[in-house]
A and B are shown apart, each in its own frame.
Chain A
Amino acid sequence: MNRSFYQKHSLVLVVYALILVLMAIGAFNSERFLTIRNLTNVLRQAAYLGTVALGEMLVILTAGIDLSIGSLVKLCVLVSAILMDGNPDNVWMAVVLTLGLGLIVGLVHAFLINELNLSPFVVTFASLFILQGIALTITTKPIGRASRDFLLLYSQKLGGVPIIVYYFIFLILLIMFLLRKTVFGKHIYAIGGNYTVAQLSGISVKRIRYGVYALCSVLAASTGLLWLMRMGVGDPVIGKGLELNAIIAVVIGGTSLFGGRGTVIGVLGGILLLTFTDNLLVVLGVNQFISGLIKGIIFVAAVALYKQNDRYKGGFTGL
């Protein structure tokens, strides 16, 4: 009983169809919408959610979850801003150390999950608090400064397309490559798809966990750098609820919270759908207060209508 291509990927196809619909609405209502300028801006916007979502996807594919990335982004914005301190000589150091911070956090997560046998939910839940606490202890008001040339990266374009978009595309291709073509990627799917079989096949679950949680956190750290590019300072307001948005993008994109199923194209669809919705609401001049309601209705509808083929038997998810 072979399901057709359409049946298997129904959700993703619907998501992309919706994106096209949104774009059509946008084009009809505003001549500014389909301009390169606007579209590339949207893509740049998408990168901010997208980098985090891609990392979250990796973790969710292994039937895990990371609730701490919002707090991590927050912390990284602060750390990078402080380290850079407006000095162009510090840029590389700030970048490297920030990414390093992400790496360490991710490794610690995996360590706790592997060695203490705790659920990813609980570990990253605790981490959410801890990282937030560290960030807010450092400061509750904007602090530090990006150097001028770093700031410029935000608006810098290559061939009309912002550099950040290239970064995003690069990440998409990288993760796609990782998941489809490497042994690491195949093992990620195996662990999420059937943990016992994966173990019995000699796959080192522990090692894969270190890999995905580290990647997830490093991607989050890089998002912090992106925010610094945009804000120019380390603002501790950044990052609130980011992980939840990322999870929604991932889920709408067809990735199962139980692991083992999901594609980058799908998650990209989720990211774009969310971003385009936001953009469209602004372009249409929709009252910013109504837009939240509209988004909420869309989310509820999306989630209610998408009948999960997963075997959610009523036990706890987000193991």
Chain B
Amino acid sequence: MDPAALAIQGRLALRFLHLIGQYGVYLALVLLLIVGALITPNLFEKETLAVMFRQCAQLGIIAIGQTMVMLVAGLDLSVGGVIVMTSVVVAEVSNGRDEMIPLAVVTALILGMLIGLGNGLLITKRKVPPLVATLVMLFLVQGAQQAFTRGVPSGFVPEAMGIVNKSWGFLSIPFLLWLGLNGVFLLILRGTPYGRKVYATGSNPEAARLTGVPVNLIKISVYVLASGLAVISGVVLTGYVGYVDRFIATGLDLDSIAAAVVGGTAFFGGRGGLMGTIAGVLIIQILSTMVVLIGLDIQTQFIIKGLVILAAVSLYSLAHK
């Protein structure tokens, strides 16, 4: 073949790869749905969908925050601790009384955002790598929670919290909340100056600074938002479970990172976004649900998640060469 034709082929291949990088995850989602429909048609039954969507919401709300943190080349491992903290605070402050719920939630939000502030300050002012910074904050939060409850959570979760789980068919409040929050944050990230600054900070912090972007402030704000979202997710979870459970958030932190990664958000920042994360969350949850429906050991979901992460990252790596 003559070199000109080869060059054109090469360019087409690059464009194709690039498209895969941008839209591949949606394609994967669609393919997965098709496969799901064929292999496990009861995937689309009302009850299954209801459960799955609720789980999507639990994971998805945190994933929003995690995505934003990753967009500025960071990581937040403290979200699990924030969720448990929320549970504890809600139970303590409200002590079973419905009318105290708003106060309880607000208290949890304030505490959560303080935690996020702590993360942000450690990372920007003390230059601690995000992995280490959010990890030690997690220890601190878990330690504080243990000390406070002395192992036995006190207080009760008010009944009214259960409204968080009101559902109609397969739609439920958590699910709608998730969609709503996604909408809000999508709008913020794509359609406001703040969102632009977030992407700029992640894409090239030095250039951002030289263009007048308050890089440190943006980073801190992102961590605060991530913790705030974790509190919201905690509220939803607590309402669903109905009591304080120390292990309520197990695995959600890592899963949120996985969802973002599968959705195309890169660890080094500046690339990716919420649309991809939504698809990532859906893919992960659908796979987990299918695992159960097919009758496989529920623990195989971990293996599948790991493989999906590897596959996704390899494809993205190829796409951006």
Contact = CB atoms under 8 A, between A and B. Distances in A.
A–B direct touch in complex (beta carbons closer than 8 A)? yes
Interface of A: 112, 116-119, 121-123, 125-134, 136-137, 140, 244, 247-248, 251, 257, 287-297, 299-300, 302-304, 307-308, 310, 312-318
B151 interface: yes
A314 B73 contact: yes
Given A128-B254, A314-B73, A137 B146 contact: no
Interface string B65-79: 000000001110100
Given A118-B314, A303-B136, A296 B143 contact: yes
Interface string B113-155: 0000010001010111111110111011111101101110000
B261 interface: yes
Give the secondary structure class of A's interface.
helix
A130 B302 contact: yes
Contacts of B35: none
A76 B226 CA distance: 35
B306 A289 contact: no
A132 B301 CA distance: 10
Contact of B268 (A125, A293, A316): A316
Contact of A303 (B128, B147, B269, B301): B128
Contact of A296 (B140, B205, B269, B297): B140
Contacts of B124: 314
B185 to A, nearest CB: 21
Give the secondary structure class of B's interface.
helix
Contacts of A287: 147, 150
Nearest to A291: B143
B267 interface: yes
Given A129-B303, A299-B136, A293 B317 contact: no
Interface in B65-121: 73-75, 77, 118
Contacts of B77: 244
Nearest first, the 7 A-B pairs at minimum CB distance are: A133-B302, A129-B306, A133-B303, A130-B306, A296-B140, A296-B143, A292-B143
A314 to B, nearest CB: 4
Interface in B229-256: 254
Interface residues of B, number: 55
A273 to B, nearest CB: 14
A318 B131 contact: yes
Contacts of B297: 136-137
B300 interface: yes
A300 B151 CA distance: 22
B258 A129 contact: yes
A247 B132 CA distance: 8
Contacts of A294: 143
Given A292-B147, A315-B205, A308 B128 contact: yes
A140 B307 CA distance: 21
Contacts of A310: 127
A253 B75 CA distance: 22
Nearest to A301: B136
Nearest to B258: A129
A293 B309 contact: no
Contact of B129 (A116, A119, A140, A257): A257
A140 B299 contact: yes
A29 B304 CA distance: 51
Contacts of A128: 254, 306
Nearest to B136: A299
Given A118-B317, A300-B137, A308-B126, 12 more contacts: A122-B310, A128-B254, A129-B306, A289-B147, A289-B151, A290-B147, A292-B142, A292-B146, A295-B139, A296-B136, A313-B206, A314-B215
A298 B132 CA distance: 13
B74, B118, B147, B219, most chain A CB atoms within 10 A: B147
A248 B301 contact: no
